[in-house]
Amino acid sequence: GAGVSQSPSNKVTEKGKDVELRCDPISGHTALYWYRQSLGQGLEFLIYFQGNSAPDKSGLPSDRFSAERTGGSVSTLTIQRTQQEDSAVYLCASSLVGAGGPPLGELFFGEGSRLTVL
Amino acid sequence: AQSVAQPEDQVNVAEGNPLTVKCTYSVSGNPYLFWYVQYPNRGLQFLLKYITGDNLVKGSYGFEAEFNKSQTSFHLKKPSALVSDSALYFCADYRPQENTPLVFGKGTRLSVIA
């Protein structure tokens, strides 16, 4: 597609339920990122995928959070046993990779999935 | 790990006046520095970046930023603000040699008043 696509755009769930958020990156972008945006907290890094390398999971806030990327394209962020503090906008971004390997740095963001946990 | 500070949560400026949104980075070295903008109910958009070369970089919508290594700053500027510039602005620091993700500041909300 022309841009990064995220679904659902809005999700309301009850505390304790599991949720899945989907990201479809720009075709050809091998680097994919998940960030979380909470009111007053800025952008919090969650996880980063780069090609076939092991993902950088250092930003995941707890073991209730996990993500996978299938076939080097679509990614799913899963939050198990949701808590009210998980309420936020979850942003996905993708980027190109330079000749040297690391991503070039300019990220292309989706419009986010707004999660509300009641 | 690197971190980015945006000391102002909110900046208010009158339309037509110059605007500055401040950003400082904490770790010395050779950062790649970025500014992103988020308009209401929209995703983040890239504005401009500094990698190397001229310390003054120009970006989209008439914005520019100046890299100052001695002050570890990368302030965003525009000579004449528009009401449509009202948005949330994020500064980010990237170290490709460390293969770490972009680290973003907490954001500064810019309000341009007609």
pLDDT at A27 over 80: yes
Residue A81 Cα, gap to closest chain B Cα (Å): 27
User: In the CATH hierarchy, which fold is given to the domain comprising B4-113?
Assistant: Immunoglobulin-like (2.60.40)
Is residue A118 one of the residues assigned to a domain?
no
The domain that holds A34 is classified in CATH as 2.60.40.10
Read off the pLDDT band of B22 (50, 70, 90).
very high
Locate the domains of chain B by residue range. Answer: 4-113
Domain that holds residue A32: 5-111
Phi/psi of residue B59, nearest 5 degrees: -130, -155
Residue in chain B lying closest to A37 (CA): B106
Average pLDDT value for chain A: 89
Per-residue confidence (pLDDT) for residue B24, from 0 to 100 = 95
Per-residue confidence (pLDDT) for residue B100, from 0 to 100 = 73
Contact A100 B43 (CB under 8 A): no
Is residue A116 one of the residues assigned to a domain?
no
Which of chain B's residues have a Cβ under 8 Å away from the Cβ of A110?
43
Residue B96 structure tokens:
């490709």
- Specify the DSSP element, H or E, that contains A92: strand A88-95
- 3-class DSSP state for residue A38? strand
Which of chain B's residues have a Cβ under 8 Å away from the Cβ of A40?
106
Is residue A72 one of the residues assigned to a domain?
yes
pLDDT at A79 over 90: yes
Per-residue confidence (pLDDT) for residue A98, from 0 to 100 = 60
Residue B114 Cα, gap to closest chain A Cα (Å): 26
Which of chain B's residues have a Cβ under 8 Å away from the Cβ of A35?
104
Per-residue confidence (pLDDT) for residue A1, from 0 to 100 = 53
Determine the Cα angle at B106 with ends A49 and B108, to 5°: 130
How many structural domains is chain A composed of? 1
Residue A112 Cα, gap to closest chain B Cα (Å): 7
Is residue A102 one of the residues assigned to a domain?
yes
Phi and psi based region of residue B43 (left: phi greater than 0; alpha: psi -120 to 50; beta: remaining): beta
Is residue A85 one of the residues assigned to a domain?
yes
